[in-house]
Structure formats: structure tokens, C-alpha cells
């Protein structure tokens, strides 16, 4: 009995007593041949297995399972049950395995996986605990107490929009690679729903996806990174799983868009498209005002990342000269500061004597809320040298700010920031972006994003002969490889000059005269002679 037994049973009852005969039914066996044999048409197979006693020594009711069509089926499950109890010889652990077996059988009518239980035993997990992906994600987020607000918001969005809806009900220890791949397939399908709704022109359909944006490859990689990190925590800290399925899910390769320069030809094509879009929008909104800046920004550009030529950058700075934040835009355009770094620049970090500024603070956005904090990486915490003209412009800006302070009187807030509102309070980052787009539109320049000025600053520095390492440190990048691959665009004039310089190093072979058979000379192009004629 200790190793278990198999037997055949049925539901027949005794005619006199009405009691169930079970395995005593005479129809279960048939005589003939070499002795008794089991009937192939009557009854079902079953097994019985002795279980470990309770903690107080009381005998536990044996495990009995019946209803198997064949002896082999009964023996397979009996071996499965034996294998579970043999996973650990410790009496306490065996009792826990036994209780898990009975609990799972009651809920699912099947024994738990030997591999799942073996993993839990090996990693000393609570055998009674079953955690879903959704439950673990909530626990994971509670534990992340030292992350910044932006990262927390990103984690929360990924959990709310993707992990809970698509994976939340799956047991954590049964999460498979195909489950995660299916989530990303569903995300791509919803991208199509968003595109269709927005193109439909139906207000009700458009309203359904008003606050949803299509998820691109880069965002998908960030979603997977969040899931991979959460599952790694489950492996290392709680030992809930021993394999991370998110680590092997394949996603489309993310290719950073290369910055293209607004050449004359590209500007001409863009202006034609913009004029057509403006006319179409005017016709669609007949009798109502048109958001000209929105039409200006939404006209299709040759690349998501566009870079102004030096002449276009000069035109922008000349137009921005009248704006009270001119110095801010100049720092971004020439020194490549990030928006948050420029908005977060403080007066104590400006040294007119050394001609430098220290970038060690930033103001970013969490949704719409401005958030002050340290730069994004250690490399971003840096000191940047300024040219003489920019230093003079910063001095002018300081004088203007002093006048604004006197005018504001007691309403002035002494925030210590270089760039503030007219009452001294820190700027909202979006305000800086909105002002930038208005100036671009009014200056008649082709559109670029405010962040694209960093691309332009890198290209300007390289065109001026600045070494790549210096460009990297000025922009605050960890490696020059990232700078080279992401933030450099080649101006046509620079590329042309490089081509001419390269060609100047080569001397073209001359056309020579060779005497003919009859003594008359003939011209021979040496580069076109075949080996046989040389």
C-alpha cells in the first residue's frame, strides 16, 4: 500500500443490500485461458496511494482516484503522485507537498506539475502560494521605493495598460514566452485600431482613442524591459520563478532615425505639402479658425529628426533675439543643452569669470506636472564652456531679469533659476517648447523639434572641426559611439568639401599616345585596357 496499488472498480450494486460492489463486482473479471483476466468492457481502473501522516501523527486518508479507461492511464498518474512525494524526504516538506497535491486536485482535478513543485522545493518557496502576474506586478511596484517619479509613472503605465489587461490572470510560474509575444501582437493590433479610428473622421470613434497613442518599436522595448526587470526581481528576491520568459521574447529592432538636413530641395517639397495641408484644413474648417501652428507641425517631414543648416539656425536666432528667453534658445542651439537642463540652469552655476555653466539640475515633466531633479545620468552632470557672445547675452539676460524683479516687487519669487517667468518662478518646460514652435512658424523656417536643436548643435560642432570626444562631453553622453550614431548630421557643404579634398589627393592617369602598327600614333585610355592588351 505504501507504494500504491492499482485496481478495477465499477458502480454496480448488490441486489439484496443495495450497497455498491466496487472492486468486488464479479463482472470485473472473466475466466478462461490461462486464468482470470480483467474484463475489457466492464468497470474503470483506479489507484490508491498512502499519504504522509498529519503533523500530529494522525493517519491521513489515502489518495484514491478512479475513472481511468486503461491500466496504463492509472499507473501513469500513480507514478506522478509517487514522484511528487519523492521530491523531498523531509517530513515537513512532504506534508506540504501532500497538501498541495490535494488542494490542486480539488481545484483542477489534476495533479500539479512535478517540475513546478520541484522548482518551489529547490528554491524554498511557499508551496501553498500561487501568484498571478497582476498580483506580482502590484507587489513589484510597492517595492520600488527608490526610483524617481518619472520611472514610477512609466512602470505604472506599463502595468495598467499592458501587463494587467493581457497577462494579469496568468499564474506567474506559468507565464510563457508565447503569452508575452501574444501581448505584443495585441498591442500592434490596437495600433491599427487607433489609426483606423483617427482616419475615420467619426467623432465617436476618434473619441474612443483620444488619449491613446500608437506604440512604436522603441516603446515596446521599454515595455519589455519593465516586464523583464519585474520578473528578475521575482527570481532573485522571492524565488517565485527560475526562468525569465521576457528575456527571450523577440521584438522588432529599434533603429534610431538619422537626422536629415533641411536642404533647399527638401524645404521646397515641404512648403508645397504644407500649403496643400493648409488649404485642405481651411476647407474642412470653413467658417472656423484654423490652428496654423498645428498644421505647420503636422505636415509630413522627410524624417522624424530634421536639422537646420547653419544659415537656418542663424535665421532662427536672429528672430529669437527679441524674445526674453533668447539666451535659453541660444544655449540649446549652440551648446546642445536638453530642454530640462536649460530650464533648470541656476545662477550659482554660471561663471562669467571662467566662461562656463554647470549642468547639475533639470526640470522635467511628469505628465503635465514639472519635476525638479538631478540630470538623467552621471555623464549629464557636466561643465560646459561658453563663447564670448553667449556670455555677453547671459549678462544682458541677467540685467533684464533684475528689472523684472524690481517691477514685480513683493510678488517676485527668488527661485535662483536663470530662466524664469516674469515673477521669478521656474518655467514650465512645455511653455519653452510652445514658444519655440511659434517662433519657428513666424520666422518662416521649416519645422524641427526643440530637441532637434541638440542634433544641430552636434553637427555645428563637428563641422567646425571639434573632436568627437569633446562633442560627446558637451552633450553629456556616456559614450562617443552614441553621439556619433545618433546626434550627428552631415551638412551638404561639409560633405562637398570632403569630397573635393579627397579627390584632390588623386592624380588622374593622363591619356597617352602609343605608336600604331603602321607607325601612326593613337590615343590609349590606360584604365580601359584589358589584361590581354597590356
Rounded-to-integer distance, Cα 27 and Cα 47, Å: 19
Q: What does DSSP assign to residue 518? A: T
Which stretches of 299-420 are DSSP H helices? 310-320, 326-335, 339-343, 388-408
Q: What does DSSP assign to residue 505? A: T
Residue with grid cell 528578475, as numbered in its chain: 232
User: What is each CA distance from 404 to 58, 167, 352, 532, in whole angstroms?
Assistant: 87, 55, 21, 85
Instruction: Write out pLDDT tens, residues 258-279.
Output: 889 999 999 999 999 989 888 8
Phi, psi of 519 (to 5 degrees): 90, -10
Rounded-to-integer distance, Cα 504 and Cα 498, Å: 10
Instruction: Write out pLDDT tens, residues 105-154.
Output: 887 888 988 888 887 787 777 666 678 999 999 999 999 988 888 889 99
Rounded-to-integer distance, Cα 179 and Cα 133, Å: 11
From the list 162, 174, 170, the residue with the least C-alpha distance to 242 is: 174
Rounded-to-integer distance, Cα 515 and Cα 98, Å: 104
Residue 517, pLDDT score: 47
Residue with grid cell 519585474, as numbered in its chain: 230
Residue 283, pLDDT score: 77
Residue with grid cell 512532504, as numbered in its chain: 94
User: Domains in the chain and their CATH numbers?
Assistant: 5-122 (no CATH), 133-248 (1.10.150.130), 260-492 (1.10.443.10)
pLDDT in tens, the chain (534 residues): 457 899 989 989 988 888 888 888 888 887 654 446 888 888 999 999 999 998 888 899 999 999 999 999 999 999 999 999 999 888 888 888 898 888 888 878 889 888 888 877 877 776 666 789 999 999 999 999 888 888 899 999 999 999 999 999 998 988 999 999 999 999 999 888 888 887 777 788 888 887 788 898 999 999 999 999 999 999 888 778 888 999 999 998 887 778 899 999 999 999 999 898 888 878 777 766 668 888 898 888 899 899 999 999 999 999 999 999 999 999 999 999 999 999 999 999 999 999 999 999 999 987 788 989 888 677 888 999 999 999 999 999 999 999 999 999 999 999 999 999 999 999 999 999 999 999 999 999 999 999 999 989 998 998 888 998 999 999 998 888 878 777 766 777 777 777 887 888 887 666 555 554 444 555 444 444 444 444
- Edge-first strand order for the sheet with 63-68 is 5-9, 44-49, 63-68
Amino acid at each position: 500500500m505504501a507504494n500504491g496499488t492499482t485496481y478495477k472498480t465499477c458502480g454496480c450494486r448488490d441486489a439484496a443490500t443495495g450497497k455498491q460492489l466496487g472492486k468486488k463486482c464479479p463482472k470485473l473479471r472473466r475466466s478462461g485461458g490461462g486464468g482470470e483476466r480483467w474484463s475489457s468492457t466492464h468497470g474503470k481502473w483506479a489507484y490508491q496511494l498512502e499519504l504522509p501522516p498529519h503533523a500530529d501523527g494522525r493517519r491521513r486518508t489515502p489518495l484514491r482516484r478512479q475513472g481511468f479507461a486503461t491500466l496504463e492511464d492509472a499507473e501513469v498518474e500513480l507514478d506522478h503522485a509517487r514522484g511528487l512525494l519523492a521530491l523531498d524526504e523531509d517530513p515537513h516538506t512532504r506534508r506540504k507537498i501532500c497538501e498541495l497535491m490535494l488542494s490542486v486536485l480539488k481545484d483542477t482535478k489534476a495533479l500539479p506539475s512535478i517540475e513546478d513543485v520541484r522548482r518551489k522545493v529547490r528554491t524554498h518557496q511557499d508551496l501553498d502560494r500561487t501568484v498571478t502576474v497582476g498580483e506580482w506586478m502590484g507587489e513589484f511596484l510597492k517595492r520600488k521605493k527608490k526610483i524617481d517619479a518619472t520611472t514610477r509613472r512609466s512602470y505604472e503605465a506599463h502595468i495598467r495598460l499592458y501587463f494587467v489587461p493581457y497577462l494579469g490572470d496568468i499564474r506567474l510560474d506559468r507565464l510563457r514566452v508565447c503569452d508575452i509575444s501574444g501581448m505584443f501582437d495585441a498591442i500592434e493590433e490596437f495600433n491599427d485600431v487607433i489609426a483606423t479610428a483617427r482616419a475615420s473622421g467619426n467623432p465617436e470613434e476618434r473619441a474612443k482613442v483620444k488619449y491613446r497613442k500608437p506604440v512604436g518599436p522603441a516603446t515596446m522595448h521599454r515595455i519589455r524591459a519593465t516586464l523583464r526587470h519585474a520578473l528578475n526581481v521575482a527570481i532573485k528576491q522571492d524565488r517565485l520563478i527560475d526562468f525569465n520568459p521576457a528575456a527571450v521574447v523577440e521584438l522588432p529592432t529599434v533603429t534610431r532615425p538619422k537626422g536629415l538636413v533641411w536642404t533647399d530641395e527638401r524645404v521646397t517639397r515641404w512648403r508645397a505639402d504644407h500649403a496643400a495641408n493648409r488649404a485642405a484644413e481651411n476647407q474642412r474648417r470653413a467658417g472656423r479658425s484654423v490652428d496654423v501652428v498645428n498644421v505647420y507641425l503636422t505636415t509630413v517631414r522627410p524624417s522624424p529628426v530634421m536639422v537646420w543648416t547653419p544659415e537656418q539656425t542663424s535665421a532662427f536666432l536672429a528672430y529669437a533675439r527679441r524674445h526674453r528667453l533668447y539666451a535659453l534658445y541660444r544655449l540649446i542651439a549652440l551648446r546642445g543643452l536638453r530642454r530640462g537642463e536649460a530650464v533648470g540652469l541656476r545662477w550659482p552655476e554660471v561663471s562669467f569669470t571662467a566662461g562656463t555653466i554647470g549642468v547639475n539640475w533639470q526640470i522635467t515633466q511628469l505628465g503635465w506636472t514639472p519635476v525638479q531633479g538631478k540630470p538623467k545620468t552621471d555623464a549629464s552632470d557636466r561643465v560646459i564652456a561658453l563663447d564670448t557672445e553667449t556670455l555677453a547675452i547671459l549678462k544682458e539676460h541677467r540685467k533684464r531679469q533684475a528689472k523684472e524683479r524690481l517691477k514685480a516687487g513683493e510678488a517676485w519669487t527668488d527661485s535662483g533659476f536663470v530662466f524664469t517667468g516674469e515673477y521669478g518662478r521656474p518655467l514650465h518646460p512645455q511653455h519653452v517648447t510652445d514658444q519655440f514652435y511659434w517662433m519657428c512658424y513666424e520666422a518662416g523656417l521649416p519645422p524641427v523639434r526643440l530637441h532637434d536643436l541638440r542634433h544641430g548643435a552636434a553637427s555645428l560642432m563637428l563641422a567646425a572641426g571639434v573632436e568627437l570626444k569633446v562633442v560627446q562631453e558637451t552633450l553629456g553622453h556616456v559614450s562617443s559611439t552614441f553621439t556619433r550614431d545618433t546626434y550627428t548630421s552631415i551638412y551638404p557643404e561639409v560633405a562637398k568639401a570632403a569630397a573635393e579634398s579627397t579627390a584632390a589627393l588623386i592624380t588622374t592617369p593622363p591619356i597617352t599616345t602609343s605608336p600604331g602598327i603602321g607607325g601612326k600614333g593613337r590615343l590609349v585610355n590606360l584604365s580601359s585596357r584589358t589584361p590581354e592588351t597590356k
